[in-house]
Structure 1
C-alpha cells in the first residue's frame, strides 16, 4: 500500500516517519553516547591506575575484570527497551531485598558491620544492588497513573524495606544514600508538597534519634569535621589530614613510582576506596584530579540528558534519579576528600575499589542509555512529548555541577597555597631522626689555655655505635661485619637486634673508643651510625668550678627557656656554661629514617652533620687565677671555722675585664659529667662553705670599712664640711642614748687621714651629717645594691637598705642606722665584685661593667670580640681627689702598709665587718686596692672570713696578687688578636 503524505512525494512502508528521520540526524540524540561512555571509562581507568600504584597489579586486575564485565553489560543494555524496565526493576528490587536479608544471617563482618556475602574468594555487597533496585521500582511507581497519595505511600513503603535492612547491618552511608534517592525521586516524580512537607518534618524530629544510633567511628568522623581535623591525630581527623597531604603533595603530574611515593601512600587510609580521589592526585597529580572532576560532571549531565528523552515518565525518572544519586555520591565523596564535608564512607563512583559498586553503576548507566536510545531523542533543553516530566532535574544538575566546580577549584587552591607546607608535613610524618649531638665549644683563658673542652681525642673519646634494627637485621653479612668491628659475637649482635620491637629507631649496640668508631664509619654499613658520646672535661679541676659551671641534661626550666630543645639535650646548667650556652652548644646533626605508618623503619633518610659550638675566650689569665686561688687557700687554711669562705677578684678598671676570679671552697665541675658522679656530687653539695656558690658574685656580706670609700665620695659629692677640715674623733661617738666605739682611740683627723687609718668616729660623724639620702644616693651612683651586670648567671644584687625599704619590710630606720652605715654595717650587704667595682669607680671616675667573655670563634679560627658596655662616668668624679689621696695614704702610712713594698704606687682600703652569720670571734675581712695610682690598670678585692682586725689575711691575698700581676703584667694582659664585633 502506498502512502502519500500531503505536500510530499510517495513513500514506501519501509520509510521511517519524517520525525524519526530528523531524530537520526540529531547528533545529540540517536548515536551511542560517546561522551558518557568516555567519561565512565576515564573514571574506571584512573581508578585502575590508582589501584595498581597503591595496592599492586593483582588487585587492579581483579577490579579490571569486573570493569570489563560492566562495560560489556553497558553494550548489551544499550539496546534495552523501556517496556522491560518494570520487569528489571522488580526483579532487581526483590533480589536485593532477599540478599539484604541474607546478609543479616550469612554475611561477612568487618569493622563492626555485616555488609557482604562471601562466595568463594569473592564478596558481594547487596546494598549496592539495592540502589539500582530501589531506583527502578520507585521510577515505576512514581511514573504510573495512580493517584498521588497512592504513589507516595507505595514509594515510601518500598523504600523503607531496603533502608531498614541496610540500617541493621549497619551501613549508615548507604542508608543515607537510599534515603536521599527516595526523597529525590519523590520530588522529581512530582509528588505534591502536602505529602512531602509532613515527611520532612518527621525526618527533622527523628534526626536526634539517628545521631544516637551512630557508631563511635561515625561520631568521630562527624566530630572531626565539625571541630576540625587538627584536633584528632587519629581516626577521621587523621584521614582528612592525610587526604590534604596527598592533595597538596601531588604537584601537577604526581609522583607515581617515586622513591618515597609508595611509602607516603601508606599513610593515606582508604586510599583505594573513600579517599581514592586524593590518592589519584597524589600518584598522578592535579591534572588527573581535574580529569576526574570533569569526567564526573560530564557523566552527571549526560545521564540528566537521558531523563528528558524517554517516551514514558517511567524511563525519564530512571535517568533523573540516577543523575541525582550519582551526583550526590560524587559530591559527598569529593567533599570528604577535601575536608569540606564529613567523611561519610561514600566511595567515588567508578573510581573507588569495589566490584559490586562498579558493576551496579555500570549496569545502571547501561539501562539509562538504553532507555534514552529507545525513547524520543531530544536535547536537554527541548520540550518533552509528555507533560508530567521530572521536575528540578536541570536545577539539580546545575547545582551539583556548581558544587563540583567549586570543590575542584578549592582542591587546586589547596595545592597552590598550601602544597609546600603539606608536602613538608607528609615528609615529616614518615621521618624519624636520630640526634647526633654537636661537640660543645671550648672555654679558654685569654691566651688560649683550655679551661673546659669536649673530649675529642682518640685516646679519651668514646663513641656510641647505633643501629636501626629493622633496616640492619635483614642483611646477615652486614650484621657480621658490625660484630667484627665492635669485637662482639655475631649471635650477641643478632640477638640484640631481634630482641627489640620492630618500631625501634635506634639501638645502642656498643660503646667503643674513638678509633673504633672511625673504623665503623669507614665501613659504611647501611643502618649503622656512630654517635659521639657527649662529654665535658675541665682540665683545671676546682680552680674555676663555680665560675665555669657545668653542662648537663636539660631541666624543665631549660625547656621553658628553649622550647625547641630535644629530649636529653645537654645544655649549660650553671656559670659560664649556662651564660654562653647558645654560643657553646652548637647545632645538632641528625640521621633520619623513613618509617611506615606503624612506625617501622624501612629506609635510611638524609643525614645532617652536626655543627660544633664556637669556642669562648675569657678575659681571665690562668696564671693570675692560680695565684689568687693559692693565696686564698693559704688564708683559709688556718681558719677555725670549716664554713669560712674566701673570694678574690682582679679587674681592669678601664674596661671591666675580669683578670682573675677566685672562690673558695670550690668544686670540680667534672662531678656533673656527663656522666654524673653521684657520690662526688653529693659530697660537694654537703661540704661546708657552700662550694657550689660562686662567692665573688653570689656571696653578699657586710663590707665593713671598705665602704668608707663610698662615704668619703658622698662627702665630696654632698659637702657637709670640707675634706681638709680636721674633726675631733677619739674613742667613741654618742648619738642620743647610744655610744658607737672606734676600733682604737684616735686624735683629730681630716678625710684623708681618716681613710688612711679607717677612723670610725670620723665616719660616724660624717654619715650623721650627710644623712641617709645623700649616703644612699652616692652608693647607688657607685653601683651599691644592684647587680654589676657581669656575664654570670644568678648574680646577687646585695642589699642597700633605705628608710622606706626598711619600713616596708617592717623595720625602723633609726638615727643610729645612718651612723653605722658610715662604717659599712647595718642595712648593707655587698659582693666582692660590687666592692671591686666601686673601688675602681673611685680610683678612675667611671663605673665599668665587669665581664668575663672576651671573644668567640670557631676552633682554630678567627675570634670576634664580644660587645662591650662602655664605662659610665661618675657624676661627681671631679671631686674624688681627697678620697684617692686617702687610699694612697692607707698604703704609705695607714692600715694597708703591707702593700707599700710593691714597685708601683698603690691605693687601698681595708675593712673588718661584724657578720651575724659567723661565730663571735670571726669577721668578714676585706682588702680593696688599685694600682698603679693615680691611673690604675688593675683593681683587686679580697674577702676572707675568720678572726682578726684591720690589715688581715685578705691583705696578704691582695698583696700577693698585685705582686704577681705587676711582675707579669705584659703577659697577663696579652691576648691573641680579635676582630671587631
Structure 2
C-alpha cells in the first residue's frame, strides 16, 4: 500500500491527496477497492425472507389486521436498518450506551407502569403503541459488552465491568418476570465474554458457580413455566397445558404437508387449535398454514443470517465491531434453535420466539436495526485505509465460526427430527388433528327383524325417529327454528328457549319423537343443524310367548365392549337369547353425522354424514302357530300344579336339529327391557317364583327318570351282559348290598323290549348293576348327556353326568347303589328337556344332531345358515330293540295315550324324584318320535309337579303331535332361501 501524505483518516493528508490528483495525473496505482461484501445482500435478503414468512403466517392465522401491523413494523425496521447502516463505527460506542441506558430506564419503568399479561409486566403502552424494553436491552447489552470485552483494559476490569453491566438489565428482567428473555441475556453475556477472549481463569469459576445455583432458579418459575418444564420432562405430553401445546405443534407440522393448508376453507379453524401460533409456536403454525417448504425456508434463512453475521465478525478492523456481529450471530442462532426445539418438543417451550417470524413489533424492529449496525461496522471494516494496520494485528472474536457451526448442526439435527416425525408419525398425527376437531352424532343402524320360518315378525324395531338439534348451528336462524317447531308440533318460543339455554358446546339435544311421515318432511326441509336419529327401541309382538328365547337388546355392557372391540359405548346390542347369539347379524353398522368444532367444542359446521347400514333379518325354524299351541298345552298341564311349578317342551326335527317350537313356563314379557325400561315389570319378574327369566328347555336341568332307560338299553346292546331277548325275572323290588330298590309296580319277567315298554325299574336295576358305571356313563356321553347340545342360545346348561372319578374328586362317594339308580335316570344325573329330546332323536334315527333355531339371514333374499353337524352314533345299527321298546310303549305300555294318533309313534315316559321341584317333588317326563318308521318330529315335555307316569306331560306331547300332523304341510312350508355352498 502506498502512503501519499501523512495525516489521520480525516486529517489534512486525505484532502491534499485529492487535490494533487486533480492537478496532475499520477501513475495508475490500484488502490484497495471496497469489497462487494460492504453491503451484505444475502443477510438482508435472509432477514426479509424471515419477516415475509412471519407476515404470511400472521395473515393466515389472524387475517389482514395482524399482518398489516407486522408489515408496518417491518417497514419501520427496514428504515431503521438503512439509517443505522450509514452510521460510522466510531459512533458505535455512543449508540450502545444510549441503547443500554434507555433500555435500563424503560425496564425500571415497566415495573411501575408496565402492562400486565399472564402474570407478568413486560410492556409499556403509549397511545396504542406497545413497547417491550427487554428486547431493546438485548441490543444495548450486546453493544456495550462488545465495547467492554473488546477494549484494551486489563482482563479483570473487562470481566468485572461485563458482569456489572449485564447484572442490571438481567435483574430487572427477572423482576418482571420474563425469565426467557433473562436467560437469553445471560447467554448473550456469557457469549460475549467468550468471544471477547476474557481468560478462562475468570470464566470457569463463574460458570461453575452458575451451575451450582441454577437449581435455585426453580423457585423463581411461575406455574405456567413449571408446567412447560414438566411437560418437556414427561415421557408423553399431557392432553392439556403445555404438553397439549407441543402435541398440537406436532399435529400442525404433520398437517401442513409440503405446501400447507392455503386452499383449505377450514384453515382458520385449524389455526385455532394451535396455541401461541403467533409467537412461541409460530414456526409450527407456518408449517401448518404454508407447508414444510415455508418452515424449511425459515430455518434456512436463519442459518444464512447466522453465517453471514459470523463472517461479518471477521471483517471489522475494530474488535468491538467484530464482537457485535459475532454476538448477534450467536443470539439469533440460539433464538432459532430454542424456538425450533420447543416447537418439536425437543426443548422446553421457553417463550423464545423464532427471529422475525414470531409476532412482536419490538423484537422485529430491534433485530432489523441490529443488522443495520452490523452492516455499518462491516462497511467500515471493508473500506481498507491506506494507513490501517495489518488485519493480523487485530484479534478476532474467539470461537465465532465454531459457535455458528455448532448452531448450524443443532438446527439441522432439529430439522432432521421434524422430517422423521413427518414420515413416521405424520399419518397418525393428521388423523388425531382431524379427530380432535370432529364431533359425531351416532346414527343407530336399524336392527334386523327376527321372524318365524314363514316371515311372521317376532322381534322388530320401531318406526319412530328422534329429532336432534345442534344448538350452535340452529339457534341463530329464527326462520329455521319456526319451521322446525311447526313440523314437530311445538311452540317456536319453547324450541328457541331450549336452544338458547343450552351451552354452546352442546353437540345435540333431542326435541321430539316423530312418526315416519313427519320425519320425511323434516328431512325434505334440509334444515342445517337438524339430525334425525332412529329410535333404538325393540318390540316383541308375542311378548311372554318367546321372552326367554328371544332375549332382549340394550346398551352395551363392559362384557360386550370387550367382545366387540371398537363398539360404541352407547351402542344397542343383544344382551340375552337369540338377540345376543345373532347380534353380529342383527346389529348392522351405525352411521355418523359429524360436525366440525372449535377448540372449546362449539360446533361450527356440518362435516360428513355416513349413513347407517341396517342389520340383516333373522329367520328362525320356529312355526309360530305350533309355538302358540305347544305353549298353550304346557300351560294347561301346569294349571293344576302349585304356584311356581315349571315346565318346558320342545318340538324338533330329528333329521336336522331344527327346532319347530320351544315352550318355557313361567315366562316373562321381554318388552319390559324397552327402551324405555319398565323397571317395575323387571323387578316383578325377578321376584316371581319359577324363575320366569330362564329358558327352561335349555337352562333347567333335572333328573330325567325312566326316559334315561333308552340310553341304558343302548349301553346293553353294545356289550350285553345278557341277551336282549332273554326274559329276566323282575317283580316288585331289587336288593343290592342290603338296600332294597322298589319297582313302580309288580311286573312279571320281561325282556329288554318289554322292559322299555313297561318301564320296568327292576329290569334296569339289574341291567345297570351288570353293566357297571363305566359302560353306562360312556354310552350316555356318546348320546350327549352331560354336555351342551350346541343350540344357538346363550347360557345353555350342560346338565350333569357323574362318574365314579368325578364324584370322588368332588368329595363324594360312588356306591353300588349309585350305579343301580343311574339305571332308572336318578342319582348323579340331571338333563335339560332339549338334551332329552336330542337322545330321543338319536335313538330313533341313529344320528346325533345339533339343535338349531336360526335358519336363514338376509334382507328380502335370504341365505340359509350353515347346517349344524350331524354325528352318526357308532352303534346305530344295534338300536333295533330300543326302537321296538319305544313303539311297544305306545301300543301296549306306559304311553298308550299316544296310540290314537294318525301315525305310528315311539315314546318313553318317566318320573323322577326331584327335591328342587314344587309339589311332591316329582319331575314328569314324556318324549316321543313320529312317524316312527321315518321320524320327522320329536316332542319332549317336562313338568315339575305331583303327577307321574306322564300324567301331565302325556297330553302335552299328544296334542302337539296331533297338531303337527294336522298342519304338517303348512308348518314345513317356508319361503325359498339360497343355500350356502357346502351347507
**Structure 2 counterpart SS, 1:375:** helix
Does structure 2 conserve the Cα–Cα contact (< 8 Å) formed by 1:309 and 1:377?
A: no
Q: Which residue of 2 aligns with 1:644?
A: 645
Match of 1:144 among 140, 148, 151: 151
CA distance in 1, matches of 2:647, 2:680: 25
CA distance in 1, matches of 2:866, 2:194: 80
Q: Which residue of 2 aligns with 1:626?
A: 628
Deviation per residue, 1:413-463 (Å, 9 max, x gap):
43344333322222211111111211110001111111111122xxxxx22
Q: Which residue of 2 aligns with 1:787?
A: 788
Does structure 2 conserve the Cα–Cα contact (< 8 Å) formed by 1:653 and 1:844?
A: yes
Deviation per residue, 1:703-730 (Å, 9 max, x gap):
1111111111222234322222222211
Q: Which residue of 1 aligns with 2:381?
A: 375
Does structure 1 conserve the Cα–Cα contact (< 8 Å) formed by 2:561 and 2:569?
A: no
CA distance in 2, matches of 1:17, 1:879: 137
Q: Work out whether 1:345 is the aligned partner of 2:351.
A: yes
Q: Which residue of 2 aligns with 1:459?
A: none
Q: 1:664 to 1:384 in 2, by over 3 A?
A: farther
**Structure 2 counterpart SS, 1:508:** strand
CA distance in 1, matches of 2:137, 2:408: 26
Deviation per residue, 1:116-145 (Å, 9 max, x gap):
222222222111111111211211111111
Q: Which residue of 1 aligns with 2:371?
A: 365
Deviation per residue, 1:575-633 (Å, 9 max, x gap):
11111112111111221111111111111221122111110111111122122111111
Does structure 2 conserve the Cα–Cα contact (< 8 Å) formed by 1:229 and 1:240?
A: no
Q: Work out whether 1:328 is the aligned partner of 2:334.
A: yes
Does structure 2 conserve the Cα–Cα contact (< 8 Å) formed by 1:310 and 1:377?
A: no
| Unaligned runs of at least 5 residues, structure 2 | 6-16, 385-389
- Pick which of 816-825 and 765-774 moved more: 765-774
Once the two structures are TM-superposed, the CA of residue 329 in structure 1 deviates from its matched residue by 0.5
Q: Work out whether 1:574 is the aligned partner of 2:559.
A: no
Which residues of 2 match residues 549-698 of structure 1 at below 5 A?
549-639=551-641, 641-698=642-699
Does structure 2 conserve the Cα–Cα contact (< 8 Å) formed by 1:229 and 1:236?
A: no
Q: Which residue of 1 aligns with 2:969?
A: 970
Once the two structures are TM-superposed, the CA of residue 483 in structure 1 deviates from its matched residue by 1.7
Deviation per residue, 1:545-591 (Å, 9 max, x gap):
11001112223333333343334322211111111112111111221
CA distance in 2, matches of 1:259, 1:832: 67
TM value normalised by structure 2: 0.94
Q: Which residue of 1 aligns with 2:738?
A: 737
Does structure 1 conserve the Cα–Cα contact (< 8 Å) formed by 2:195 and 2:326?
A: yes
Q: Work out whether 1:235 is the aligned partner of 2:241.
A: yes
CA distance in 2, matches of 1:276, 1:386: 44
Once the two structures are TM-superposed, the CA of residue 321 in structure 1 deviates from its matched residue by 0.8
Q: Which residue of 2 aligns with 1:865?
A: 864
Q: 1:753 to 1:49 in 2, by over 3 A?
A: same
Q: Which residue of 2 aligns with 1:52?
A: 59
Q: Work out whether 1:755 is the aligned partner of 2:762.
A: no
Q: Which residue of 2 aligns with 1:196?
A: 203
Once the two structures are TM-superposed, the CA of residue 911 in structure 1 deviates from its matched residue by 0.7
| Unaligned runs of at least 5 residues, structure 1 | 457-461
CA distance in 2, matches of 1:145, 1:430: 62
**Structure 1 counterpart SS, 2:392:** coil
CA distance in 2, matches of 1:932, 1:18: 135
Q: 1:387 to 1:33 in 2, by over 3 A?
A: closer
CA distance in 2, matches of 1:586, 1:919: 44
Q: Work out whether 1:713 is the aligned partner of 2:699.
A: no
Does structure 1 conserve the Cα–Cα contact (< 8 Å) formed by 2:919 and 2:946?
A: no
Once the two structures are TM-superposed, the CA of residue 410 in structure 1 deviates from its matched residue by 3.0
CA distance in 1, matches of 2:426, 2:702: 63
CA distance in 2, matches of 1:576, 1:850: 14
Match of 1:299 among 293, 302, 305: 305
TM value normalised by structure 1: 0.95
Q: Which residue of 1 aligns with 2:251?
A: 245
Does structure 2 conserve the Cα–Cα contact (< 8 Å) formed by 1:47 and 1:352?
A: yes
CA distance in 2, matches of 1:628, 1:120: 94
**Structure 1 counterpart SS, 2:461:** coil
CA distance in 2, matches of 1:450, 1:444: 4
Q: 1:310 to 1:198 in 2, by over 3 A?
A: same
Q: Which residue of 2 aligns with 1:271?
A: 277
Q: 1:194 to 1:865 in 2, by over 3 A?
A: farther
CA distance in 2, matches of 1:954, 1:20: 131
Does structure 1 conserve the Cα–Cα contact (< 8 Å) formed by 2:914 and 2:922?
A: yes
Q: Which residue of 2 aligns with 1:62?
A: 69
CA distance in 2, matches of 1:17, 1:876: 132
Which residues of 2 match residues 522-533 of structure 1 at below 5 A?
522-533=524-535
Q: Which residue of 2 aligns with 1:209?
A: 216
Does structure 1 conserve the Cα–Cα contact (< 8 Å) formed by 2:466 and 2:512?
A: yes
Match of 1:319 among 322, 325, 330: 325
CA distance in 1, matches of 2:190, 2:874: 92
Once the two structures are TM-superposed, the CA of residue 258 in structure 1 deviates from its matched residue by 2.2
Q: Which residue of 1 aligns with 2:9?
A: none
Once the two structures are TM-superposed, the CA of residue 731 in structure 1 deviates from its matched residue by 0.9
Match of 1:489 among 475, 488, 491: 491
Q: Which residue of 2 aligns with 1:846?
A: 847
Does structure 1 conserve the Cα–Cα contact (< 8 Å) formed by 2:470 and 2:529?
A: yes
Q: Which residue of 2 aligns with 1:958?
A: 957
Which residues of 2 match residues 425-504 of structure 1 at below 5 A?
425-456=432-463, 462-504=464-506
**Structure 1 counterpart SS, 2:274:** coil
**Structure 2 counterpart SS, 1:284:** helix
CA distance in 2, matches of 1:386, 1:635: 123
Deviation per residue, 1:736-791 (Å, 9 max, x gap):
12111111111222222111111111111111222222222222221111111111
Q: Which residue of 1 aligns with 2:517?
A: 515
Which residues of 2 match residues 41-120 of structure 1 at below 5 A?
41-120=48-127
CA distance in 2, matches of 1:627, 1:583: 29
CA distance in 2, matches of 1:543, 1:19: 120
Once the two structures are TM-superposed, the CA of residue 670 in structure 1 deviates from its matched residue by 1.2
**Structure 2 counterpart SS, 1:530:** strand
CA distance in 1, matches of 2:865, 2:330: 74
Q: 1:496 to 1:445 in 2, by over 3 A?
A: same
Does structure 1 conserve the Cα–Cα contact (< 8 Å) formed by 2:645 and 2:918?
A: no
Q: Which residue of 1 aligns with 2:905?
A: 906
Q: Work out whether 1:280 is the aligned partner of 2:286.
A: yes
Q: 1:924 to 1:389 in 2, by over 3 A?
A: same
Once the two structures are TM-superposed, the CA of residue 267 in structure 1 deviates from its matched residue by 0.6
CA distance in 1, matches of 2:240, 2:538: 42
- Pick which of 276-285 and 966-975 moved more: 966-975
CA RMSD of aligned residues (A): 2.2
Does structure 2 conserve the Cα–Cα contact (< 8 Å) formed by 1:311 and 1:385?
A: no
Once the two structures are TM-superposed, the CA of residue 920 in structure 1 deviates from its matched residue by 5.5
Q: Which residue of 1 aligns with 2:765?
A: 764
Does structure 2 conserve the Cα–Cα contact (< 8 Å) formed by 1:543 and 1:626?
A: yes
Once the two structures are TM-superposed, the CA of residue 368 in structure 1 deviates from its matched residue by 1.0
CA distance in 1, matches of 2:236, 2:48: 34
Does structure 2 conserve the Cα–Cα contact (< 8 Å) formed by 1:79 and 1:374?
A: no
Deviation per residue, 1:511-546 (Å, 9 max, x gap):
222222211111111111222222212122221111
Q: Which residue of 2 aligns with 1:261?
A: 267
How many pairs are equivalent? 960
Does structure 1 conserve the Cα–Cα contact (< 8 Å) formed by 2:228 and 2:242?
A: yes
Deviation per residue, 1:258-313 (Å, 9 max, x gap):
22111111111011111111111111112211211211111111111111111111
Q: Work out whether 1:409 is the aligned partner of 2:424.
A: no
**Structure 1 counterpart SS, 2:269:** helix
**Structure 1 counterpart SS, 2:777:** helix
CA distance in 2, matches of 1:511, 1:701: 48
